[in-house]
């Protein structure tokens, strides 16, 4: 099926025989990375064992890519449980990717498994709590779980210098959704005036949650 790759495999044999240094291995890895994950893994299996050991990182990345592709196909077929299983396997191979963990956690959340969703993302966050992208993805997940205070706390953990427009927009959105939810609850309790007041006069920021956005944008997204 992959006969058209045979010349490259022969060339790779010669490359590794003559120079098993980083640039040579990098070139082979780059080539594999340009191929579809399934084909690249099949090609990698044709390499001698002494070559494969230099490409362990590439192999793992390709395995993760294949699992994610399979998860996408499972989702499209509405086999959500299968997609969750595939993404769980992918996360076990690459827990450093915040968006892979976010995707897994989001699927769990969509199926009503809130605790499992947060636990799945925590497996990533435990080792990457200081990374802005990880905290941003966490805040997005918590927003989806209607955990407003926790979402804002996740954003506040990001260094002010690392804030992006998307993070500011998320802070705005979370605070707005929080206010709407509070107003709806008051209205359902027969307190329409209090509901209107909650929308017009948001509570003061008592937890310093706006500080990163304030530092970056010069405005307080929690006081809109």
- List, as one string, the DSSP characters of 139-187: HHHHHHTT-HHHHHHHHHTS-GGG--HHHHHHHHHHHHHHHHHHHHHHH
For residues 101 and 87, give the distance between their C-alpha atoms in angstroms, rounded to a whole number: 8
What pLDDT does residue 145 have? 96
CA distances from 162 to 96, 139, 140, 146, 167 (A): 19, 15, 16, 25, 9
- Cα separation of 132 and 168, whole Å? 13
Cβ contact 103:87 at 8 Å: yes
Largest pairwise CA distance in the chain: 81
* Contact partners, residue 75, CB within 8 Å, separation at least 6: 83, 107
Whether residue 199 contacts residue 179, with contact meaning beta carbons closer than 8 Å, is answered with yes
In what helix (H) or strand (E) does residue 60 lie, and over which residues does it extend? helix 56-76
pLDDT score of 59: 81
Q: Say what the pLDDT of residue 52 is.
A: 67
> Is 62 within 8 Å of 37 (Cβ atoms)?
yes
| Domain definitions of the chain by residue range | 1-67, 132-224
User: Whose structure tokens read 């804030």?
Assistant: 163
pTM reported for the whole predicted model: 0.74
pLDDT of residue 7: 43
What per-residue confidence (pLDDT) applies to 141? 98
First to last CA, the chain: 60
Cα–Cα distance measured from residue 224 to residue 212, given in angstroms and rounded to the nearest whole number: 16
Tell me what pLDDT residue 218 has. 45
Give the integer Cα–Cα distance in Å for 168 and 173: 9
Which mean pLDDT values do the consecutive 10-residue runs of the chain (224 residues) have? 44 48 62 73 72 75 92 97 98 96 98 97 97 98 95 95 95 91 86 82 50 47 42
């Amino acid at each position: 099926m992959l006969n058209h790759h045979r010349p490259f495999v022969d060339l790779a044999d010669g490359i590794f025989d003559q120079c098993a240094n980083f640039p040579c291995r990098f070139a082979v890895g780059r080539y594999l990375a340009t191929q579809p994950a399934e084909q690249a893994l099949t090609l990698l299996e044709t390499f001698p064992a002494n070559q494969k050991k230099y490409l362990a990182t590439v192999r793992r990345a390709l395995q993760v890519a294949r699992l994610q592709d399979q998860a996408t196909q499972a989702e499209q077929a509405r086999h959500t449980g299968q997609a969750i299983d595939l993404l769980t396997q992918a996360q076990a191979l690459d827990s450093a990717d915040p968006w892979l963990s976010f995707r897994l956690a989001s699927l769990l959340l969509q199926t009503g498994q809130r605790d499992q969703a947060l636990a799945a993302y925590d497996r990533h966050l435990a080792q990457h709590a200081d990374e802005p992208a990880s905290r941003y993805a966490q805040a997005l997940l918590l927003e989806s779980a209607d955990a407003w205070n926790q979402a804002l706390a996740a954003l506040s953990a990001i260094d002010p210098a690392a804030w992006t427009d998307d993070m500011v927009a998320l802070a705005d959105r979370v605070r707005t959704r929080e206010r709407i939810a509070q107003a709806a609850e008051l209205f359902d309790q027969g307190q329409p005036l209090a509901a209107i007041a909650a929308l017009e006069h948001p509570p003061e920021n008592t937890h310093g949650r706006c500080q990163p956005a304030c530092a970056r944008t010069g405005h307080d997204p929690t006081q809109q």
